[in-house]
Every structure is written in C-alpha cells, then in structure tokens.
Amino acid sequence: MSMEIRGPLELPARREEIELRTADDLTLVGELAQPELSAPVATLVTLHPLPTAGGFMDSHILRKAAARLPALADLAVLRFNTRGTSSQRGTSDGAFDGGAAEQFDVAAAMDFVRDRALPRPWLLGWSFGTELALKYGREHDIEGIILLSPPLHRATEAEVAAWGSTDRPVVVLVPELDDYLRPDEARERFASIPHAQLIAVDGGKHLWVGETQTRRVLTEIVAAVNPAALPLATHWPPLD
C-alpha cells in the first residue's frame, strides 16, 4: 500500500549524526542522510535560514529535502546548525556572527564532504543561507549553488557579480510574494550573473509554506542536481 508523500513523512535512508570541526576550533552538530541501498549521485550541502529569526537545520524545506531526496533522487543531504544554533540534534558551539565567522562553518562542511568523498556537492542556501553561499561558495570545490528566497541583505554587489566570472550554475528561486526580494528586483540584482537561472514562483512566499510549495522547491532542486530523477514520486512506495 502506497502512502502520499507529504508533511513530515520520512522515507528510507541511511541517516548519521555527524559533527563538523571549524578552523576556529568549534564543533557544529549535524546529520548526513544518504540513499538507503546505493551510493549518492550528488550531494546537497544545506545552509539554513537566519538563526536569530528561528532558522536552523530543521527548517522545514531542508528537513523535507533530507527526509525525501535520498530515496526519491539518490542524493546525499548534509544539514548542520551554524555556530550558536540549536535544534533537536543539539547546539553548535560558538555564537551567531552575522555571516562573518560563519565562513568557517561553510568551510567545515566542505571539509567533511571532501573527507567523506561525497560526490558532486552543491550548496543549497535558504534566506540567510543564500548569503553564505554567495559570499563564500566560490572558495570551495562545488558544482553550483541553489538559492531559495535570497534577501541579498549581506552579500554585496561585488560578491554577487563575482559569480558572473565562473561557469558554475547559479539557480535562484524567488517567491512572487517574498517579504524581502521579489522577482522584478531580483532580476535586476542578479543581472551581473549572466548565466544565473532565475525562477519566479507564482504564489510563493519567503517560507515556502504548504505541500504545493514544498514540492515545487524540491522539484527545482532536483532539476538542477539530478534531473534524471524527475518527476518526483508523490507516493511511497512509488506507484507504477
């Protein structure tokens, strides 16, 4: 009997509690989810929304990516709490630094990916996490970046424009009704990256609430990273 995939349903995967060690000697807590019976074809390194506004590794889109995409799209999903951030998994050492010292958190995650030989890493940032991806992602060996609801509060014009000189994909999902950056302004502010793929999501809001929006976001992520897995199954086990 198949169940509809929605809400908090967690599909089969190999799940492992992990710790990351930063260059400034902090321990960050996280989780790695991988396909249950096979090697992943690509890796999502997730960067969560603003911790001072309630963002953490369990923010719902990231939690659902980890719950579903190892099974549905053969992806590894790495989630972690940036410095000073707490979730059910625990609290990472240190204190929120407004996106500055968090560069060491991003680097620690990428060190983990390299040490584990996880394939084809992509940075997946949401809100505050998009700022970290834009500011620090070019320093690392990644396939590309996926930005969900980018506010562009901390990433400078120069940091955004620097992606224009790379050939790495930049995928930007902008909700029609976002609280901070809507599609028309986003097109202007990302114009310095000629190859950026900007996807305006009708009816979308900053927090992507609701199963329709969740499925749209996860579909666009997989379209960038492993399009062969589309369309994503809506039931588990998948319907024939």
Domains delineated in the chain: 16-229 (3.40.50.1820)
The first and second tokens of residue 34, run together, are: 């991988």
Q: Are 143 and 56 in contact (CB under 8 A)?
A: no
Q: Report how far residue 36's alpha carbon sits from residue 144's, in angstroms, rounded to the nearest whole number.
A: 25
Dihedral through CA 183, CA 187, CA 189, CA 192, nearest 10? 160
Buried b / exposed e over 145-160, threshold 16 CB at 10 Å, is bbbbbbbbebbeeebb
pLDDT given for residue 1 in this prediction:
83
Three-class DSSP category at 91? strand
Place of tokens 């998009």: 130
User: What tens-digit pLDDT sequence spans the chain (240 residues)?
Assistant: 889 999 999 999 999 999 999 999 999 999 999 999 999 999 999 999 999 999 999 999 999 999 999 999 999 999 999 999 999 999 999 999 999 999 999 999 999 999 999 999 999 999 999 999 999 999 999 999 999 999 999 999 999 999 999 999 999 999 999 999 999 999 999 999 999 999 999 999 999 999 999 999 999 999 999 999 999 999 999 886
Instruction: Note the pLDDT of residue 239.
Output: 82
- For the chain, what is the total number of helices (H) and then of strands (E)? 6, 12
Amino acid sitting at position 107 = A
SS3 16: strand
Instruction: Residue 229: count other Cβ atoms within 10 Å of its Cβ.
Output: 18
Distances (CA, A) of 177 to 51, 73, 99, 171: 22, 29, 25, 18
Instruction: Supply the pTM of this predicted model.
Output: 0.98
